[in-house]
Amino acid sequence: MNINLHQQLKILLNSNLNIKPVTTGLNCAATSNPVSYKTSETPSAGPYGQFGSAGQEHQLPHALRINAPVYEWLNMLISSMPQATLVTDALRNVIITNQQFCHLFNLEQKPQQLVGRNTVELISGLGGDMIDVIYISERINELYDTREPADNDEMPLRDGRIIVRGHRPLYFQNQFFGHLWTYSDETELITSRKRLNEQRDFYERILNAIPSEIVVYSPDQRYRYINPAAISDAALRKWLTDKTDADFCVFRGKDMSIAEERRAAFKKMETLQQPTSWEEKLSLPLQKERRLHRTLTPVYTPDGRLEMAIGFSQDITEHQQSKEQALLNEMKYKDLFNYSQELICMHDLNGNIEKANPALCGVMEMPEAALVGKNLKHFLPEQDHHLFTDTYLPTIKTGNRAKGLFRFHTRSGKRIYLLFQNYRIVHPEGAVAPYVISFAQDVTDRIQAERQLKEARMQVEETARIKEKFLANMSHEIQAPMNRIRELTDQLLGSVPSLRQQPALDGIHQSSRHILDILDDILDLEKVNTGEIILERTTFDVASCIRQTVQLFKEETDARNIRFITDSHLPPGYEVTGDAGRLLQILENLVSNAVKFTPEGSITIGVEKEKETPSDITLHFTVKDTGIGIDEDKLIKIFQPFTQAHNARKKQYAGAGLGLALTKKLISLQNGTIWVESRPKKGSTFHFTILYYKNSDPEYLQHEIKTISVNNRLGNLKVLLAEDNEINQLLARSVLQYLGFESKTAGNGQEAIDLLLQEDFDVVLMDIQMPVKGGIEAAREIRNMTDPKKKNIPIIALTASTLKGEEDQYLAAGMNAYIPKPFKEMELYDIIGKVLNAGNSNGEK
């Protein structure tokens, strides 16, 4: 601590010289109202003789005289001063100085040698050592002129030292005596202070730049420091220093509860000796309420006393709003999850359940805790585990999405079906491990309904098949006697019956013909269903077919005054290759219906090209009538078997309801389609298309020649097919039909033997593994038959096995050849040709 000259003089005079105020007449003015001091006794003579001896008055340069003892006393005082000291008169001559002064300024002279020298001269000598000599000189002049006391005038020297100068005017007996100058080397102190100030400025700049509010409180909770973030107004910041929060609230008109809350927080911090935080709500005019998170941190001195408290505040308004919004959103998502009727769960990439919503828990009949942590596989039937492991997990891992159906077991053991659509969720930052979110629907009821429906449909289809089969069998059985009835009726009619008998015989004849037509339809329908219909391929004139059809009904339509119109857009004599007989059958069916349901008006048969390629042509036929039409609700059913659009009980509309069903199937066989347009009381138009080959096409001709040559070479063979498997039966019959062969089917070896005994066949196709009697056993029995023709019939083994060595067994059993299933037409054709040729060769031999 730098004690100023005024204080030093006061101490020194009081302690050593017993100075009493206003007794010596020497005044040392620290202010403009100087205090005077007087010595109680007369001091001894000083070392400076030129000022006179003891008891004498010293002759001072500016004519003020002091006696020798006072001078001595003053000289002693100055000499003993720890600081460099100089006393000059008003004319700037040195009166007294000390050794410290000489040392400080590196003067070679002794203090006594400087007495009487003018300081202007002295400064001139020292000027080279001073950095700003002009300023220093001006300041000295100012002090000489004003005689104002001064402290802490800094004089930087070139050698790096900073000399601090003090100045006091001296009065003796109320008269100006001279100037007292003190000098001290304060380099270290000033540098340290400067460094401290720089540091303080540095930290203050940081604190001022921080956007968060920072304040420092004194232990009595007064503001020591406030940064601009806390209070932007610099004047208010300054005013608030040393004030309390209560002062602030009063000054700014704020609610005093803020100050009370802060006071309570401060107390809490003091009590707990720990940082204390609280949230403060600030209402500002015309602004939204702000929310601040404030923290008070105590700072203690080394001896444990509270030195200050640092207050730190953060505006958490937005953060808090975001947090509240996030909480709200989370709540909504939770609600969505909890109240969704969709079954939702989350699982990791291995199927371990992480979360399940109440809907899923409800369906599974177990709480979430019973599901979470378990693997989904755990709830699947064991036979479905491989689907989960081998299909579902790899799909979801690689494809990001998987959908499908799983069966689950509920807690009570009930089996449910969940239709799921699952997504793999991968967060880009990887903060959360990838997981799967699963959305599912319980489709158990739907599946069961579908299953029941399917079973019912299968049952209906099976029943229908049985019915059709029965009908076909019955028709087949009835066909022969009915033909016989018709033949006998024809004979009776030919033998000139009596007039009474003639109408009855006509009736029998017509009825038997009608029954035979129905039987033909039933048998045709069955043949289509079983793939037994053989389509012919001959070249024919389309217009001729239409003419033939018209001719069939001409008599009847003429009688009823119904006009026939032919609307052909084909060139005259246009020929195609296909089954002319089936076209006639189709046209006959449709025209027959038109005639039946048209009381008056006309029937138009039209044909045009619809699509043509180099090898084939699609023809579009129409049969249009002006009849009674068909109700819309009946339209979709009319192509079903045994269905009629009109009341069959009315005699004129009677029929079996098979015509359109058969027509549709015949058209389908020829790669065509049929549809109808109709309006009640306006009439109906039946459209159908058929794909025909163009006989001009060379490829076709080649194919046709080949087909014909096949037929020519092998003829119309009759094949016995022994096969228990229904699919293989259907496929084989289809192939045989394509090749133009007639076939009969046996379901096992025994049936094949029975059929062969009843009828003649050209070749046997024998499956190996069949119930009741296998193919090998049956072949052996055939080879043991007595009838040479049957005994030597060629037998071809149909085998599913392609194992080496097995063919030897078939040949050893007497079979002629074998063909692995499934086979193609030409493969079968070739092998049949081979065995037949071999047989013929053997016969010739």
Partner 1 sequence: MSGEPLYDLNYISQISKGNTALIERLCSTFITSATKILSELKTALAKGDLTQVGAEAHKIKSMIAAMNMHRATELMQEILESLRFNTDVESVPEKAEQGIFLVEAAIEKLKTDLSI
- 3-class DSSP state for residue 220? coil
Question: Under rule CB under 8 A, which residues in 733-752 are in contact with partner 1?
Answer: 734-735, 738
| Segment lying near partner 1 (by CB under 8 A), choices 86-94, 174-182, 202-210, 719-727 | 719-727
CA-wise closest residue to 344 among 407, 404, 353, 399 = 353
**In the set 235, 480, 499, 803, which binds partner 1 (CB under 8 A)?**
803
**In the set 132, 233, 461, 830, which binds partner 1 (CB under 8 A)?**
461
Alpha-carbon distance values, 689 to 498, 657, 658, 686 (Å):
50, 22, 20, 10
Q: With residue 17 as reference, give the H or E element that holds it.
A: none
Select 210 or 669, whichever has its Cβ closest to partner 1: 669
Question: Does the footprint of partner 1 cover residue 582 (CB under 8 A)?
Answer: no
CB of 535: closest distance to partner 1 in angstroms?
8
CA-wise closest residue to 75 among 43, 122, 40 = 43
CB of 519: closest distance to partner 1 in angstroms?
21
DSSP state of 278: E
Select 629 or 774, whichever has its Cβ closest to partner 1: 774
CB of 580: closest distance to partner 1 in angstroms?
18
CB of 344: closest distance to partner 1 in angstroms?
26
- 3-class DSSP state for residue 499? coil
Q: How many angstroms separate the CA atoms of 230 and 210, rounded?
A: 10
CB of 385: closest distance to partner 1 in angstroms?
11
Question: Under rule CB under 8 A, which residues in 207-266 are in contact with partner 1?
Answer: none
CB of 417: closest distance to partner 1 in angstroms?
13
**In the set 822, 830, 837, 838, which binds partner 1 (CB under 8 A)?**
822
The answer to whether 39 touches 21, Cβ cutoff 8 Å, is no
**In the set 272, 800, 811, 838, which binds partner 1 (CB under 8 A)?**
800
Select 139 or 527, whichever has its Cβ closest to partner 1: 527
Select 191 or 668, whichever has its Cβ closest to partner 1: 668
* Residue matched to tokens 């056993």: 777
Select 468 or 625, whichever has its Cβ closest to partner 1: 468
Q: How many angstroms separate the CA atoms of 150 and 170, rounded?
A: 13
Select 474 or 800, whichever has its Cβ closest to partner 1: 800
The answer to whether 408 touches 374, Cβ cutoff 8 Å, is no
Q: How many CB atoms lie within 10 A of CB 408?
A: 21
| Segment lying near partner 1 (by CB under 8 A), choices 21-29, 161-169, 233-241, 794-802 | 794-802
Q: Read off the tokens for 738.
A: 């394509």
CB of 707: closest distance to partner 1 in angstroms?
13
- 3-class DSSP state for residue 792? coil
Question: Does the footprint of partner 1 cover residue 487 (CB under 8 A)?
Answer: no
| Segment lying near partner 1 (by CB under 8 A), choices 132-140, 250-258, 504-512, 732-740 | 732-740
Select 246 or 405, whichever has its Cβ closest to partner 1: 405
Q: How many angstroms separate the CA atoms of 499 and 792, rounded?
A: 58
Question: Does the footprint of partner 1 cover residue 669 (CB under 8 A)?
Answer: yes
Q: Which residues pair with 28 in a beta bridge?
A: 35, 170
Amino acid sitting at position 336: L
Amino acid sitting at position 226: I
What character string, x for contact with partner 1 (CB under 8 A) and - otherwise, covers 510-529?
------------------xx
Select 431 or 803, whichever has its Cβ closest to partner 1: 803
The answer to whether 181 touches 167, Cβ cutoff 8 Å, is yes
Select 317 or 670, whichever has its Cβ closest to partner 1: 670
The answer to whether 123 touches 133, Cβ cutoff 8 Å, is yes
Question: Does the footprint of partner 1 cover residue 726 (CB under 8 A)?
Answer: yes
577: Cβ–Cβ under 8 A, 6 or more apart, which residues?
Answer: 537, 538, 539, 540, 692, 693, 694, 695, 700, 704
621: Cβ–Cβ under 8 A, 6 or more apart, which residues?
Answer: 586, 587, 605, 606, 607, 687, 688, 689, 690
**In the set 129, 247, 520, 825, which binds partner 1 (CB under 8 A)?**
825
DSSP state of 212: S
CB of 769: closest distance to partner 1 in angstroms?
6
CB of 443: closest distance to partner 1 in angstroms?
14
CA-wise closest residue to 174 among 311, 268, 33 = 33
Q: Read off the tokens for 670.
A: 């020829």
CB of 449: closest distance to partner 1 in angstroms?
15
Q: How do beta strands 718-722 and 763-767 pair?
A: parallel
Q: Read off the tokens for 68.
A: 């020798």
φ, ψ for residue 167, nearest 5 deg: -140, 135
**In the set 671, 696, 716, 837, which binds partner 1 (CB under 8 A)?**
671
Question: Does the footprint of partner 1 cover residue 187 (CB under 8 A)?
Answer: no
CB of 777: closest distance to partner 1 in angstroms?
16
Question: To the nearest 10°, the Cα dihedral for 673, 677, 680, 681?
Answer: -110
Question: Does the footprint of partner 1 cover residue 801 (CB under 8 A)?
Answer: yes
Question: Does the footprint of partner 1 cover residue 819 (CB under 8 A)?
Answer: no
What character string, x for contact with partner 1 (CB under 8 A) and - otherwise, covers 387-426?
---xx-----------------------------------
* Residue matched to tokens 């080279």: 128
Burial class of residue 829, CB neighbours in 10 A (0-12, 13-18, 19+)? buried
φ, ψ for residue 216, nearest 5 deg: -125, 130
Amino acid sitting at position 124: S
Question: Does the footprint of partner 1 cover residue 821 (CB under 8 A)?
Answer: yes
Q: How many angstroms separate the CA atoms of 91 and 438, rounded?
A: 106
**In the set 727, 757, 772, 811, which binds partner 1 (CB under 8 A)?**
727
DSSP assignment of 108-158: -S-HHHHTT-BHHHHHHHHGGGBS-HHHHHHHHHHHHHH---EEEEEEEBT
φ, ψ for residue 806, nearest 5 deg: -70, -35
| Segment lying near partner 1 (by CB under 8 A), choices 268-276, 284-292, 484-492, 663-671 | 663-671
| Segment lying near partner 1 (by CB under 8 A), choices 309-317, 347-355, 714-722, 730-738 | 730-738
The answer to whether 578 touches 537, Cβ cutoff 8 Å, is yes
Question: Considering CB under 8 A, how many residues would be counted as binding partner 1?
Answer: 31
| Segment lying near partner 1 (by CB under 8 A), choices 52-60, 234-242, 700-708, 729-737 | 729-737
What character string, x for contact with partner 1 (CB under 8 A) and - otherwise, covers 528-567?
xx-x------------------------------------
What character string, x for contact with partner 1 (CB under 8 A) and - otherwise, covers 606-645?
----------------------------------------
Select 239 or 738, whichever has its Cβ closest to partner 1: 738
CB of 336: closest distance to partner 1 in angstroms?
32
Select 169 or 531, whichever has its Cβ closest to partner 1: 531
| Segment lying near partner 1 (by CB under 8 A), choices 302-310, 414-422, 553-561, 795-803 | 795-803
**In the set 802, 830, 837, 840, which binds partner 1 (CB under 8 A)?**
802
CA-wise closest residue to 610 among 570, 552, 642 = 570
| Segment lying near partner 1 (by CB under 8 A), choices 557-565, 597-605, 661-669, 749-757 | 661-669
Question: Does the footprint of partner 1 cover residue 386 (CB under 8 A)?
Answer: yes
Q: With residue 329 as reference, give the H or E element that holds it.
A: helix 317-339
DSSP state of 42: P
Per DSSP, helices labelled H in 575-689 are 580-596, 632-635, 659-669
What is the binding site for partner 1 (CB under 8 A)?
386, 390-391, 454, 458, 461, 528-529, 531, 665, 668-669, 671, 725-728, 730-731, 734-735, 738, 769, 800-803, 821-822, 824-825
